[in-house]
Amino acid sequence: MTFAGMVADNGQVTAAEKAGEYSQNASWTHVPQASLQMPAHRFLMGAGFNLFSSLPYAASRFESSDWRENIRRLLREQKFDLVVCDFLFPAVSLPWDEKARSSIPWVIFQHNVESMIWLRRAENKRGLVSFYWRSQWRRMKKHEVEMCSKFDGIITVSDKDSSVFREDLDLSNVLGTAPTGVDLEYFQALPRTTSSVSTVMFMGSMDWYANVDGVNWFVEAVWPLIQREMPQARFVIVGRKPPAEIQALAGTGKNIEVTGTVPDVRPYLRGADVIVVPLRIGGGTRLKIYEAMAAEVPVVSTSVGAEGLDVKDGRHVLLADTAEDTAAKVLQVLRNPALGTELATHALEEVARPCSWAASAQIFEEFCAGLIQKRSQS
């Protein structure tokens, strides 16, 4: 297996050094850091100029001729049975002329319905900002359909996403669902710890807009309601690259801790009393919920946050979509440890069956093997 990736900053280079864990060979293309990581004013400037582009801004930022040429070289120098594109955005840099001259199938693994994310982003804004995001949504939807239709197969992370691709986007090449997997042994390796201070935790990459939006909403609308009832409770935000607005929350005197990047999320996760997933924007599935379930930590999530996961409200997680309901259910878990234990026990039983890495990988492999066999017989 050969992995062809793109890196832009030191953090990504460090992650790239671990490629041997999931591939026999790795080939990395270094791109200018400014193209992927940039100050807010440059991001906004680029977003404005993108109004004149045929590509949505999120996709255009990942276009790289150097990366395309590197992938083309690999395809010509080595013999492969299959090409897998992970996520939608790399598709813009694939050498599509090579697919036309090749007999091997190409598959895209869609972790989200990307256009759905942009529509929800627009729905949470007003005025000119909403108008801009709606224009990006329309452009993203067109781009998503055009790109996905070029592949021999689409694999999704949830049945809901498969249905959207088939019915809403009218794509006929959807193979099915390879559910989100989680490394159970990894999250069970550390003991569960408790603290005298009730701890509410959010975990997720803080360089992702949906997470920033969700945390800001939770801090502004939900956290004051919780603190009114439990003044000593603390809220811990764990995730890489928090923007300035999130870092500033630690200095508000509201018992909020912002960790930034941590070497190991498990000590934080196994020490939390409840995990919150207050997402209002998103698509695909949320790995953070399965990780919390694997670590036996009760979860309170919005409906969007738990979308696509095979979980039941009141048995595996607690769902709430208003600030008042979210606060009430977080307080319910904090005040009733037996409820948290019951939720965590049922959640672990659920995630252990179909959601292990081995089970998910087998389903993915079967989809790919079926495509290879079909192509060999044609």
* Separation between Cα atoms, residue 153 and residue 150, nearest integer Å: 9
What DSSP character marks residue 191?
A: P
Give per-residue pLDDT as tens, 123-133: 777 777 778 87
160 and 307 co-located in one domain: no
134 lies in the same domain as 236: no
- Cβ distance 84 to 368 under 8 Å? yes
pLDDT of residue 219: 98
> Do residues 205 and 223 share a domain?
yes
Tell me the average pLDDT of the chain.
87
For residue 249 the two structure tokens come to 């929350």
The tokens for 99 are: 């697919």
Does the structure show a pLDDT above 70 at 16?
A: no
The answer on 72 and 133 residing in a single domain is yes
* pLDDT tops 50 at residue 54: yes
SS3 71: helix
In-domain check, residue 312: yes
Give 113-156 pLDDT, tens digit per residue.
Answer: 888 888 877 777 777 777 887 888 888 999 999 999 999 999 99
Two tokens, residue 89: 């955005």
Pair (228, 281) in one structural domain: yes
Question: Partners of 153 in the beta sheet?
Answer: 107
**Residue 126 and residue 48 share a domain:** yes
Q: What range does the domain containing 190 cover?
A: 184-353
Please tell me whether residues 283 and 142 are part of one structural domain: no
CATH number of the domain encompassing residue 224: 3.40.50.2000
Could you report the per-residue pLDDT of 222-262, keeping only the tens digit for each? 999 999 999 999 999 999 989 999 999 999 999 999 999 99
Is the per-residue pLDDT at 45 higher than 90? no
| 177 and 192 assigned to the same domain | no
pLDDT of 98: 94
> Using H for helix, E for strand and C for coil, what is the string for 81-146?
CCEEEECCHHHHHCCHHHHHCCCCCEEEEECCCHHHHHHHHHHCCCHHHHHHHHHHHHHHHHHHHH
How many C-beta atoms lie closer than 10 Å to residue 350's C-beta? 19
Q: Cα 366 to chain center, whole Å?
A: 23
**Is residue 259 in some structural domain?**
yes
pLDDT at 77 over 50: yes
Identify whether residues 49 and 96 lie together within a single domain: yes
Residues 212 and 260 occupy one common structural domain: yes
Q: Are residues 104 and 243 in the same domain?
A: no
- Residue 200 sits in the same domain as residue 325: yes
The total of structural domains in the chain comes to: 2
Q: Name the pLDDT band for 184 (thresholds 50, 70, 90).
A: confident
Measured in residues, the chain has a length of 378
> Has residue 148 been placed in a domain?
yes
